[in-house]
Structure 1
C-alpha cells in the first residue's frame, strides 16, 4: 500500500505540473528554448553528456569517466549490436556467458541491467535495435548515487533518436555473411505547419544464420516517436516500440566449448552443442513492447522540471540446449533442454528538479530528484538443470552427431509442465537523491551528491531439477525472507580547470547491488548486497579547437561482500570476499584533420581477488579475476576524401586487441590474447537527385581465430570469423 501511495503522489504531482505548464504558457516570457535534437555533436566527438550527472554538463567539466559512441561511429562501423558498439571504449569487455544484454566494465559485469534514456531495464535481449539509437553513453565506476541498485563497474545508457523539425526519409538495405538480410526504413518531420508536433517512424526487418551451426535469427521491430513543443518552455515526448524476435539458442547457449587442460577444446569454430531441432521445433521467441514518456517544463532560464516514465512488457519462450557435464576421458558431453515460457513487466520513472543559482561568488547547479523501479517476472515450464536423467543424447565433441533428439518425447515433458511455475521475481526500488555542482574561485568545481534507497528483492522458490517434490506442479511461491535494504550512496568529485580546454579531477563514489540469495548462508538469513567503492583521478582535454577530445584516468575500484566459504560452517558462505580492479584508461575521439576522424582507447586493468576464505585447491585469494585482460586497446580511423561534399569516398580501418584472460578464478585455464582487424570502404553520390551511399565493412579482416569469452567455469565461445556487411542507403 505504501508503494501504491508513492506512485499516486508522483502521478498527482506530475498532473499538477503538466496542467500548470499549459496554463502558464501564455504568461511565460523570455524562457530558454528546449531543443528536440540530441546532445551529441556531429562526427565522432561528443562535448556534453547527461548520463553521468543527469544535468546538462560539458564532459570536460564532469569529474568522472564517461565516454560516448556517436551515431557517426555506429554508421561507419555498421554496428548491429550494443555489445559491438562499446568495444570502442576503454575498460569495456565482452562479459562471460552473455544471454541478456550485459557488459564487463572495469572488470565487473553489469548483470542484466541496461539503461534506456536514463531509465533502467532488466532482463532484455537486444535492448534497443541499433536503427533506433542516436548514441551510447558509457558511465564508468559506481553510479548508485543517481541510479540506485547497480553493479560497481558502471552502466551503459542507450539514447534513442528523436523526431526532427525538417522532413527526411531514408531506406537502407544491408546484406552480409551467413545470409544476413536487414532492411531499415526511417521517416521523420513535422506533423503540422508551426512545427509544434514532430514525429519519427522507423521499422526494421533482420534475418540471418550464424557462423555457429544451427543458430539463426529472424527479427522485426517498429518504433513510433512523437514530440510536442507547444512553447519554448515546455516539451513532451512519447515513444512506442514493438519487437518480435525469434532465435535459436541465443547468447551463451549458442556455443559452449569444454575446457581440456588449460585451453578450450580444439573444435571447429562452427561447432556447437546445439541441435537443428531447436530452430525447427522450439525456437527462442520474444514479443515485447516498450512505452516511454517524458516531459520537461522550464520555469525560467535557470530552473526546470523533468519527468521520465518507461513501461516494458514481454512474453517470451526461452528455449536452450545446454552443456551439462563433460567427460574428458570419453569426449562425451551431456546436454539438457530447458523450455520456459516467461512473462515480465517493468516500470521505471523519475522526477528531477534542476536549477542554477548563486550564493555570493559561488555558483550552484542543483539536482533534486526521486525515482522508482518495479520488476516482476514469472518463469514457467520444464528445466532439467541438475538432472541426471539425460533425456537428450550425449554428444561426442570431436565426432558430433546431430538430429537424434526424440521430439515427441521431449514435447510430452514440455506439455506436462505447462503450468509448472519454476520461479517468480519481484523487485522494488525507491530512491531519493540530491546533487550540487559547485563552481568557485574561477577554476574549481566541486560535485557533492547523496542518495537514499529503499529496495526490496523478493526472490522465489526455484525448482530447477525434475526430481523436485512438486515437479511438474510447482507454484513458485514468493519467498519474502530477503529484508528491505536501506542504503545511502554518496559521491564526491573535485575538478580544476587548468584552462578552458584542460581539466583535472579526483572523485570518490559508492554503489550497491541486489541482495544475495540466502540459500547457502548457515543462519538462513539473507547475505548483504554486494557493494562497490572507487577512487578515481583523471584528466580531460579538448584539442584542435574542440574537434578532438581526450581523457586519461587512474582508478582503484573494489567489489565487496562477495560470497566466500564460511570457515566455521563448511558448505555455507559468508559475504566477506573482495575483488580489486585497479588500472589506467585512455580514450581519444574526434576529427584530427579535415579528412581524418578516429576513436581509440587503451586499458591497463590489474583485477585481482584480494579477500577469500577458500583453501587448498579451491584457494583463489591473490588470483587474477577471470575474463579481464591486463592490457587491451582499440583504434578505428576513417579517411574522407571530400568531407561534407555530396560525392566522395571514405576509407576506414580498425583494430581490437586483447591480452590473455584468465578463464576462471582458480586460474587453471586461459583464453589466449588476440588482435582483430576491421576495414571499411564507402562511396556517396546522388542518383535521380537523391543522396545515395554505398558501404562495405569487413570484420576480422585476416580471419583471426580467437575466443570471445568464457562462463568463468568450464566453457568458452569463439569470436566470429571474417564477416562482410554491404549496405545501400538512399535518402528519399
Structure 2
C-alpha cells in the first residue's frame, strides 16, 4: 500500500509513511495487532479499546483498520499476526486515496501471499498463564509451470490471563490461491475464518487486543486505584455461564493486468461477515469512601456485513524532462450492522456488592440474563453506512530532483440508523424481525466532500530528500449524536500541514525520517450548555509535534527499529464553561513524549545455524484520562528482550526463541475509558519452537 499510495518509493513520498516488517514482529513474538504498531512514532494504544483502535498523531482511528488497502471496521484482531507480512502506517489525513477516515491516519495490515517456492513450517508457542499456540503454514506451487500457487495457514491457541477469571480460545484459518497465467495478469482469491470464545474479553496472554469493561480499575484522587493487576469486577462463574463467542469470515479477491511496463489496472475486493456476542459484568456505581461497587451484567449481539472494493488505473507519462506518475481510481464501502440486546440484563440490585479492596467473588447466576438476552424487551436497531469516491493523483517530477504531488478526491457518504421492533408476542427476533421497521434516526443526510492533497519534495541527493505537504480529510459522521432541534451534524474534518526530511543510509539498508506536523480536527462534538443530553459541534483539537523514525540493518549483524514522538495535543475550541470546561486542556490518551528502541544482534545472518539476541524498551509519558484533565495515567518504561537459536536437526531447520516482555515487571496502565483504567501485562514469558520443511 505504501507504494500504491504515491506510486513511488518512500524517499520520494512527501509525507510520513512507516513500515513494520514481519521480522520485527517475529523477533518480538508479537501476538496482537496493538503491539504490532508500537514500533512507529506517533502511534498509541487507543483510549477505550475494544475493537482495533489506535491513536495516530493523537486521534483515534475510529475502530477502522485496513487490510491490503481496503477498509474494514468493528473487528478485533483485523488479522491474526500469523497471517501478517508487514504493517504499514500512513500518518495524517489520508482521505485522498482512502475515503472517509479519521485525521490521524490509518493502519494497514498486508497479508502473506502464496510463494512460488514450496515451504512448510510448524510452530509451537507456549508461555505465561498457560499460553499454548500452534501455527502451521504451507505454501508453494500447484503445477509445474508455477502459474497456480497456494498458501494455507492455520492457528489455534488458548490462554488464561493475569486478570482473574479471564481466558480465551482462538482458532483461525487463512487460505489463498494465486493465478499467474502470463507475465501481464495475476489474480488472487482468499478466505479467512475466525472462531473465538472468551471471558472478559481482553489481551489474554497478549493475544486479543480488545479491553473489556469487566476489569476497569476505578479512579482515586486523579490516579487509578492501587489495586493488584489481577483485580477484576467479573466473576468466576462467567467461564461456564457467560462466555462471549465470535465467528467471522472474510473473503478477498484482487487482480492486476499490466498493459506494458508502465501502465496497469488493479481491482481489489473484500467482504467481511461477523456474528458476535459481547457479554460482561460491568460497574454500575462506585462509592469512593467505602470502596463498595454495584455491578450489572450485560449482553449485546452484533451481526455485521461489510463490502469494500476499489479500482485503480496507474501509469507513467514522459514529456521531455518532466515525468508524470498518474493514478485514477474509484472505491466503495458498504457496512450493515444489526445490534440486539444490552437491556435484557440483571439490575444492579440482583448482583452481590463488591468491595474493591476486599473482593469476595461468587454467588452470581446468569440464568436471568440468559433468558432475557434476545427477547422483545431488548433494544434492536440497525445501522448502515455507504461511502464511495473518485480520486486522481499526479506525481510530477523534474530530472528526479523536484517532485510535485497533487491530487484530489470527491466523496459521497451516507449514514442511517433505524430501530427494529420485535413482534407483538415478544418472541425472539434476530437477525430479521417479523414486526415493524420504524426509523429512529435518519442520521446524516448524504454528505459530499472534496479532499485535496498536495506535496513538494526535493531529492537533494539519491540518499536525502526534504518535503512539505498539505492534506485534508473528513471522518466520523457524528450521525449517532443528537442536536436539540434535530439538525444533523456535519462530519468531523481534518487538516494537516507537514514538513520533513528523509534519508537512505548504509547503502539503502537503513531508512530514517523526521517530520514536524500541525494537525487539526474540527466539528468535534461537545455538550450543549442548554441541555447536556444533546450535543453541539463546537469543538476543535490541535495535535502539533515532531516525530523521528529509523529502521534497518546497521551492519550485517545488527538491526534496529526506533522512534521518538513529541506531541502537544490540546483542545483549542470549546463552548463548555465551569468545571466541565476543556478549552486549553490536553487531549486524552496522548503523551507529550514517547519513544521506543529495539536492537537485534545475529551471530550468523542468513545462515541456518546461529544465535540472535534482542533487547529494547518502550516508554510513554503521562497521559490525561479525560477532556477536563481531572485524572491521568502515569508514565512508564517497559523493557523487553529475546534470545534465539537456529540449527539443523537431521536435515530439518529448527528455530527456538524465548521472549521476555516487561522484563523489569513494571506496573503500568495501558489505556483508559470512562471511569476506569486498564493495566498493562506484567512480566511475560513466551517460548517458541519452529520447524521448517
Shorter-chain-normalised TM-score: which range?
Answer: over 0.9
- Residue 406 (structure 1) shift: 2.5
Match of 1:120 among 71, 81, 93: 71
Match of 1:555 among 509, 517, 528: 517
Q: 1:481 touches 1:525 (CA, 8 Å); kept in 2?
A: no
Matched, 1:224 2:175: yes
Aligned positions of 1:436-451 closer than 5 A: 436-451=394-409
Match of 1:84 among 14, 35, 43: 35
Aligned positions of 1:70-219 closer than 5 A: 70-219=21-170
Q: 1:357 touches 1:364 (CA, 8 Å); kept in 2?
A: yes
C-alpha offsets along residues 396-432 of structure 1, whole Å, 9 cap, x if unaligned?
Answer: 1111122221232232222545x84522111101111
Match of 1:720 among 678, 681, 690: 681
- Residue 392 (structure 1) shift: 2.8
Matched, 1:310 2:261: no
Residue segments in structure 2 that go unaligned for 5+ positions in a row: 202-209, 422-427
Residue 282 (structure 2) aligns with: 322
- Residue 349 (structure 1) shift: 0.5
- Residue 359 (structure 1) shift: 2.6
Match of 2:355 among 372, 378, 396: 396
Residue 20 (structure 1) aligns with: none
Matched, 1:409 2:368: yes
Q: 1:459 touches 1:482 (CA, 8 Å); kept in 2?
A: no
Residue segments in structure 1 that go unaligned for 5+ positions in a row: 1-49, 464-469
Structure-2 change in CA distance of 1:568 and 1:335 (3 Å): closer
Q: TM-score normalized by structure 2? A: 0.94
Q: Tell me, in whole angstroms, the C-alpha distance in 1 between the residues paired with 2:111 and 2:292.
A: 46
Match of 1:681 among 633, 643, 646: 643
Q: Tell me, in whole angstroms, the C-alpha distance in 1 between the residues paired with 2:366 and 2:379.
A: 23
Q: Tell me, in whole angstroms, the C-alpha distance in 1 between the residues paired with 2:536 and 2:342.
A: 32
Q: Tell me, in whole angstroms, the C-alpha distance in 2 between the residues paired with 1:80 and 1:94.
A: 15
Residue 460 (structure 1) aligns with: 418
Structure-2 change in CA distance of 1:311 and 1:577 (3 Å): same
Residue 4 (structure 1) aligns with: none
Q: Tell me, in whole angstroms, the C-alpha distance in 1 between the residues paired with 2:527 and 2:580.
A: 10
Match of 2:590 among 619, 625, 628: 628
Q: Tell me, in whole angstroms, the C-alpha distance in 1 between the residues paired with 2:429 and 2:119.
A: 56
- Residue 571 (structure 1) shift: 5.0
Q: Tell me, in whole angstroms, the C-alpha distance in 1 between the residues paired with 2:158 and 2:379.
A: 32
Match of 2:632 among 653, 670, 681: 670
Q: Tell me, in whole angstroms, the C-alpha distance in 1 between the residues paired with 2:443 and 2:406.
A: 35
Match of 2:226 among 266, 270, 287: 266
Higher mean C-alpha displacement, 420-429 vs 604-613: 420-429
Q: Tell me, in whole angstroms, the C-alpha distance in 1 between the residues paired with 2:608 and 2:350.
A: 61
Q: Tell me, in whole angstroms, the C-alpha distance in 1 between the residues paired with 2:230 and 2:470.
A: 46
Structure-2 change in CA distance of 1:294 and 1:685 (3 Å): same
Q: Tell me, in whole angstroms, the C-alpha distance in 1 between the residues paired with 2:409 and 2:82.
A: 35
Q: 1:286 touches 1:317 (CA, 8 Å); kept in 2?
A: yes
SS at match of 2:370: helix
Q: Tell me, in whole angstroms, the C-alpha distance in 2 between the residues paired with 1:544 and 1:604.
A: 27
Residue 424 (structure 1) aligns with: 382
Residue 27 (structure 1) aligns with: none
Q: 1:700 touches 1:722 (CA, 8 Å); kept in 2?
A: yes
Q: Tell me, in whole angstroms, the C-alpha distance in 2 between the residues paired with 1:471 and 1:330.
A: 42
Q: Tell me, in whole angstroms, the C-alpha distance in 2 between the residues paired with 1:248 and 1:394.
A: 20
Aligned positions of 1:275-674 closer than 5 A: 275-383=235-343, 389-414=348-373, 416-417=375-376, 420-461=378-419, 477-478=438-439, 479-517=441-479, 519-567=481-529, 572-674=534-636
- Residue 275 (structure 1) shift: 1.5
Q: 2:510 touches 2:553 (CA, 8 Å); kept in 1?
A: yes
SS at match of 1:383: coil
Q: 2:375 touches 2:429 (CA, 8 Å); kept in 1?
A: no
Q: Tell me, in whole angstroms, the C-alpha distance in 1 between the residues paired with 2:510 and 2:481.
A: 52
